[in-house]
């Protein structure tokens, strides 16, 4: 069990989902973890400290100024934490955490936590979608925190939407993955692109492709597990953002180019898994194009080759560049040509008939020195093989 013997602090915020924290504490204990609890005063209005004391067999930290507390309780509790998860994390608690405040037992402990910090948000959909909340989430991710959820589902208001706290088993599984996984990419700033780009013809029609985004999302998710600080620039998909990953949503090739160019200077490695459209309409029609008799001609212009631009502009010590080549024939030959022409460190070559939309993929990893043909596997497993190669290349680049 990945959590066996791990010391985990659960910080309970003041939301209706606080009742789920009791189930989480029990689930973590069932998986072998040693659990302690800190609560905000607001949380005690939903669940009493006695509940958590009974579940953990340890006192619960609520009041930093409680006379019975000896020493600095939040400091010792933070030192205990191999990891700390705050669940539920309300809009208010997220805002105070992003601002660096430590004015209650939960945030004071979080400020002293020696292990990674996780937040499991829970709030109404409109609160979650507020730009202020999203700014705070981005700030916390930038500080190295990991965000678990939220999920879509029934809310306390009786409505349904995005904002429901993850279930205890999901949170425990995310902690198991994070604490059990190798942290060989810790501190690496990884930029990942994923999904298709859509090029609008008019207000209702577009040019697109069959990319589901699953490969790029798998790379982002596995990299975050391995300790990388991950930013995912994604075209339109139906996939949820991976935990502990900052997602930037774009639509067109030009928007994706702008998003990547704005971030590449602060990146150690780029994995370009997006299926970027090669062409876009020369003009976007206003409104909806009407049917006309006979055929219609559509003029297309080339989109920029983002990866080629980055490769041509890269200087010594610049980020590692990983590309993908989807071909229907002469796979390795054409992929190697792209590797050299675009000045890439690694290219992932796969057949057009395999991978699109599914959960499996089969690929050949190609660099200047070698070609490694991989067996068909899940996209998650392939993501780890790609990241192994990134790790090895990154280690070589750092050697004198």
Which positions are catalytic? 209
- Nearest to residue 177, comparing CAs of 127, 263, 118? 118
DSSP calls for 206-263: EE-----SHHHHHHHHHHHHTT-EEEEEE-S-SPPPPTTEEEEE--SHHHHHHHHHHH
Which residues have a Cβ under 8 Å from the Cβ of 213 and sit 6 or more positions away? Answer: 194, 195, 196, 234, 235, 237, 239, 274
Consecutive H or E run containing 40: none
**Helices (H), strands (E): how many in the chain?**
13, 21
Spatial distance between the Cα atoms of 282 and 301, rounded to a whole number of angstroms = 5
Burial class (CB in 10 A: 0-12, 13-18, 19+), 388: middle
Consecutive H or E run containing 283: none
For strand 34-39 and strand 7-12, is the pairing parallel, antiparallel, or unpaired? parallel
Within 13 Å and on the Cβ side, how many CA atoms surround 60?
Answer: 23
Burial class (CB in 10 A: 0-12, 13-18, 19+), 184: middle
Question: Locate tokens 């678990």: which residue?
Answer: 148
Burial code (b: 16+ CB inside 10 Å, e: under 16) for 117-139 equals bbbbbbbbbebbeeeebeebbbb
Consecutive H or E run containing 63: none
Which residues have a Cβ under 8 Å from the Cβ of 194 and sit 6 or more positions away? Answer: 213, 215, 216, 217, 219, 220, 232, 233, 234, 235, 237, 273, 274
**Whether 303 contacts 373, CB under 8 Å:** no
Spatial distance between the Cα atoms of 311 and 258, rounded to a whole number of angstroms = 16
**Whether 119 contacts 91, CB under 8 Å:** no
Instruction: Cite the beta strand spans of 1-68 per DSSP E.
Output: 7-12, 34-39
């Amino acid at each position: 069990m990945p959590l066996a013997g791990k010391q985990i602090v659960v910080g309970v915020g003041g939301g209706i989902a606080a009742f789920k924290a009791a189930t989480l504490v029990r689930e973590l204990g069932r998986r072998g973890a040693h659990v302690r609890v800190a609560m905000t005063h607001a949380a005690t209005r939903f669940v009493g400290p006695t509940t958590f004391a009974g579940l953990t067999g340890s006192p619960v930290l609520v009041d930093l100024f409680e006379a019975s507390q000896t020493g600095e309780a939040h400091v010792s509790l933070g030192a205990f934490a191999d990891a700390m998860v705050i669940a539920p994390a309300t809009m208010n608690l997220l805002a105070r955490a992003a601002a660096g405040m430590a004015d209650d037992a939960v945030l004071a402990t979080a400020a002293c936590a020696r292990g990674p910090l996780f937040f499991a948000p829970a709030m109404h959909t409109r609160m979650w979608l507020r730009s202020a909340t999203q700014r705070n989430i981005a700030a916390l991710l930038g500080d190295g925190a990991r965000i678990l959820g939220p999920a879509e589902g029934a809310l306390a208001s009786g409505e349904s939407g995005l904002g429901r706290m993850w279930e205890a088993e999901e949170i425990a599984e995310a902690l198991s993955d994070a604490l059990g996984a190798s942290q060989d990419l810790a501190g690496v700033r990884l930029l990942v692109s994923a999904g298709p780009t859509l090029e609008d013809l008019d207000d209702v029609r577009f040019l697109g492709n069959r990319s589901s985004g699953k490969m790029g999302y798998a790379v982002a998710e596995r990299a975050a597990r391995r300790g990388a600080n991950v930013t995912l620039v994604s075209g339109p998909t139906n996939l949820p953002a991976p935990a502990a990953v900052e997602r930037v949503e774009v639509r067109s090739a030009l928007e994706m180019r702008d998003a990547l160019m704005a971030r590449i200077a602060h990146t150690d490695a780029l994995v370009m898994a997006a299926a970027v459209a090669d062409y876009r309409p020369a003009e976007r029609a206003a409104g909806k194009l009407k049917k006309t008799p006979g055929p219609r001609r559509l003029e297309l212009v080339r989109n920029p080759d983002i990866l080629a631009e980055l490769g041509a502009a890269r200087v010594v010590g610049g980020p590692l560049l990983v590309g993908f080549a989807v071909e229907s024939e002469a796979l390795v030959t054409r992929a190697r040509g792209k590797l050299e022409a675009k000045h890439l460190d690694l290219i992932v070559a796969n057949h057009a008939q395999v991978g699109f939309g599914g959960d499996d993929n089969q690929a050949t990893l190609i660099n200047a020195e070698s070609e490694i043909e991989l067996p068909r596997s899940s996209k998650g497993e392939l993501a780890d093989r790609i990241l192994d190669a990134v790790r090895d290349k990154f280690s070589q680049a750092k050697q004198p």
